[in-house]
Copies of this chain bind each other. A is one copy, B any other.
């Protein structure tokens, strides 16, 4: 379900005093997977950034299933759920090194320009439908 887009090992800076990954950091991995996912489709969000087009996050729904520990090998897969004129919805699955589901995340992103005004999605994304 979805394509593997981003892999990382868990380091100290990912964790908190609870001994496991801090919950907001799961969203970092999703955002990184988002960059890699679109890049693999020929759509470089960093290049778009330099041209003044941003894909900002508008909504997040996350369900945490399992904690991630120091040294864990984490994989994030991405699936395209929905594309509209100015927004795109992605589904993420974060898995630990044993392949267990650690979290499911839905992220709705909206394309905006430098003044944060909503604009049409770049073609390299809208063409993905």
Shortest Cβ distance from residue A41 to the other chain B in the assembled complex, whole angstroms: 16
Q: Which residue of B lies closest to A57 (CB)?
A: B23
- Residue in B closest to A105 when the chains form the complex, CB atoms: B60
- B residues in contact with A19, CB < 8 Å: 17, 19
Stretch of A61-69, A93-101, A121-129 on the interface side: A61-69
* Interface hit among A27-35, A74-82, A84-92: A27-35
Contacts of A60 in B (CB 8 A): 23, 60-62, 64
Task: Count chain B CB atoms within 10 A of each CB in A11, A57, A64 and give the residue with the most.
Answer: A11
Which chain B residues lie closer than 8 Å to A1 at the CB level? none
The docked-state distance in angstroms from the alpha carbon of A12 to that of B45 is 10
Q: Which residue of B12, B31, B67 is within 8 Å of A11 (Cβ)?
A: B31
